[in-house]
Structure 1
Amino acid sequence: MTPSLGPSHGSGTPWSDLDRPPLNAAALRRGLLRPGALWTSLDIVGETGSTNSDLAARAATLPEGAVLIAEEQTAGRGRLDRTWSAPARSGLFFSVLLKPDVPVTRLPWLPLLTGVAAAAALARAGGVDTALKWPNDLLVTVEGEERKTGGILAERAGDDGIVVGLGINVTLRKEELPVPTAGSLALANAISTDRDTLLRAVLRSLEHWYGRWTAAEGDPAACGVQEAYVAGCATLGRQVRCELPGDRTLTGEAVAIDGHGHLVVAAPGGEREAVGAGDIVHLRRLD
């Protein structure tokens, strides 16, 4: 769901690492699967290649609201097929099946909405400030620096489905970080790293924001998600370099998120260009 944030380890037994107990499927189902709720099923597997791939393969036979969680992913994917791997039970690795009845032009807001929901939930349940890096990353502060702790990947599944995957590093330790820009909730001094609590919070927050968005027929301004994303976006106000297809580069200040969910970049000469998530190969901060 983002580039690899940690090395892959064998699962061993569920209690091979006492700091990383397994998720409680029964308790999660009791807390999340309610009559009239968005979430309709919740399954946990010990290990799989990719929850996005697994859920997408079954999308035609499942109702909206199916949730698939893996204690460990061995072939997790991010944008542009970048890989995701992390130690077993060190984070939240899950996908949800959504079937939004909104205009197709507003679908790019779904991963941004997911970011808003996840950031709000992690701040509330984990007690750690979580910022958004456009278009699909979650950031926390570790030792005074912004670090990537998770990411989001949305993919089409069948005629009307979209699978949204999230990967969030919860207890990844310093010695497990593959690159200095990676982080985890534990390294950001979260007040709670209980994965059951965090997962319930993220899914409830996502249900809330998804309900508002679909009720507004996907209008990001009317449902408040555009305002919330802008408020939590660490990319805005920064100098950035956008690496685009065809070896084209756009450099300037990130000044806005427009109504289509695109990042608006103001070049030094004053001209502005809106860039969609699908157009970005890399987005790098210059300050």
Structure 2
Amino acid sequence: MTSPDAPHNRWSDLGRPPLNVTALRRGLLRPGALWTSLEVVESTGSTNSDLAGRAGALAEGAVLVAEEQTAGRGRLERTWTAPPRSGLFLSVYLEPSGVPMERWGWLPLLAGVAAATGLAKSAGVDMALKWPNDLLVTVAGAAGGPGEERKAGGILAERAGDGVVVGIGVNATLRADELPTPAAGSLGLAGAVSTDRETLLRAVLRSLEHWYGQWRAADGDAAGCGLQAAYAAGCATLDRSVRAELPGGKALIGEAVAIDGDGRLVLSTADGLQQPVSAGDIVHLRGAEGGLT
């Protein structure tokens, strides 16, 4: 029998056990490692907001993980909701001193590469990136139909004090009836061989430590450290017709042909011009005038 307070009990859903913070710290907080502290809270509004509010008192490498986010945020002020302990909800604080500030715009793309790489290895699913910072998986269609590309995670980077807070959200075990929108997906729905959150979290943070170290060592040169090529190789937006919904209500349609040295998406438009897009919402199209994918 379930007790009346079971929904508030951290062990009420045995299929989604709480994170073992002691084991996580033992595996990640090593001498000389990037990660300097790791805190797991049962519930919070937004891990990004929490870390940003403490930026002046944080050492680089602080990690905050929430078992549940009640006011999670994505790009363009979108909300991010998911049941407790159904995914990864975390933020990290980075201070890339020594890297020219004009190159800091690569941090959300770097986090995307790191998360996709870590999740692909630990969950055993193919991950793709939608520019600039969505994590995509392929979910099998009904009755064995063709797979459907869906968003299973996202990245949000925000300036805070002398550094940057990078938030990562990933749907791990969400079932079809729990998805916030039909366009959402999860690692479980994509056929993951493992959705153990401690394994996933360690893999993501180790991958992020690797890519961040490479990028800093190259003074933020994304081409020199291989980040630009890695992002392009994993980017599902390239070589597709897309619509860029730009700030101010404007839109641009073209073929996504490259990620340039500043991390911008380059579109080849019908008039033969190549237009770099630095900010906006990207919609994948079946054709230049076609429907959504």
TM-score, normalised to structure 1's length?
A: 0.94
Matched with 1:142 is: 139
The residue correspondences of 1:102-121 to structure 2 (distance < 5 A) are 102-121=99-118
The residue correspondences of 1:155-166 to structure 2 (distance < 5 A) are 155-158=158-161, 160-166=162-168
Q: C-alpha displacement at 1:74, in angstroms?
A: 0.3
Larger radius of gyration: 2
Moved more, 78-87 or 204-213: 78-87
Matched with 2:223 is: 221
Deviations 1:58-79 (A, max 9, x none): 1111110000000000001111
Structure 1, unaligned stretches of length 5 or more? Answer: 1-9
- How many Å separate the matches in 2 of 1:245 and 1:165? 22
Matched with 1:250 is: 252
Conservation of the 8 A alpha-carbon contact between 2:81 and 2:180: no
Conservation of the 8 A alpha-carbon contact between 1:147 and 1:183: yes
- How many Å separate the matches in 1 of 2:37 and 2:7? 24
- Given candidates 86, 89, 97, the residue that maps to 1:90 is 86
Conservation of the 8 A alpha-carbon contact between 1:154 and 1:165: yes
2:123 matched to 1:123? Answer: no
- Given candidates 23, 31, 43, the residue that maps to 1:47 is 43
Matched with 2:192 is: 190
Matched with 2:282 is: 283
Q: C-alpha displacement at 1:246, in angstroms?
A: 2.3
Aligned pair in 2 of structure 1 residues 173, 109: CA closer, same or farther (>3 Å)? same
One-letter amino acid of the structure 1 residue matched with residue 54 of structure 2: R
Deviations 1:32-82 (A, max 9, x none): 000000000000000000000000111111110000000000001111211
> Number of paired residues?
274
One-letter amino acid of the structure 2 residue matched with residue 264 of structure 1: V
Conservation of the 8 A alpha-carbon contact between 1:252 and 1:267: yes
Conservation of the 8 A alpha-carbon contact between 2:65 and 2:91: yes
Q: C-alpha displacement at 1:272, in angstroms?
A: 0.7
Matched with 1:5 is: none
Q: Which runs of 4+ in 1 moved over 2 A?
A: none
Conservation of the 8 A alpha-carbon contact between 1:11 and 1:72: no
Q: C-alpha displacement at 1:250, in angstroms?
A: 0.5
- How many Å separate the matches in 1 of 2:7 and 2:115? 26
Conservation of the 8 A alpha-carbon contact between 1:11 and 1:88: no
One-letter amino acid of the structure 2 residue matched with residue 75 of structure 1: A
- How many Å separate the matches in 2 of 1:231 and 1:47? 36
Q: C-alpha displacement at 1:197, in angstroms?
A: 0.4
- How many Å separate the matches in 2 of 1:33 and 1:245? 41
Q: C-alpha displacement at 1:165, in angstroms?
A: 0.2
Conservation of the 8 A alpha-carbon contact between 2:82 and 2:180: no
- How many Å separate the matches in 2 of 1:96 and 1:260? 22
- How many Å separate the matches in 2 of 1:15 and 1:125? 24
Aligned pair in 2 of structure 1 residues 258, 11: CA closer, same or farther (>3 Å)? farther
Structure with the greater relative contact order (CA < 8 A, sep ≥ 6): 1 or 2?
Answer: 1
Please state whether the residue corresponding to 2:8 is helix, strand or coil.
coil
Conservation of the 8 A alpha-carbon contact between 1:65 and 1:96: yes
Please state whether the residue corresponding to 2:132 is helix, strand or coil.
coil
- How many Å separate the matches in 1 of 2:181 and 2:89? 20
Conservation of the 8 A alpha-carbon contact between 2:100 and 2:219: yes
Q: C-alpha displacement at 1:247, in angstroms?
A: 2.1
2:149 matched to 1:152? Answer: no
One-letter amino acid of the structure 2 residue matched with residue 181 of structure 1: A
Q: C-alpha displacement at 1:266, in angstroms?
A: 0.5
Q: C-alpha displacement at 1:178, in angstroms?
A: 2.4
Aligned pair in 2 of structure 1 residues 11, 35: CA closer, same or farther (>3 Å)? farther
Moved more, 242-251 or 197-206: 242-251
Structure 2, unaligned stretches of length 5 or more? Answer: 1-5, 141-146, 287-293
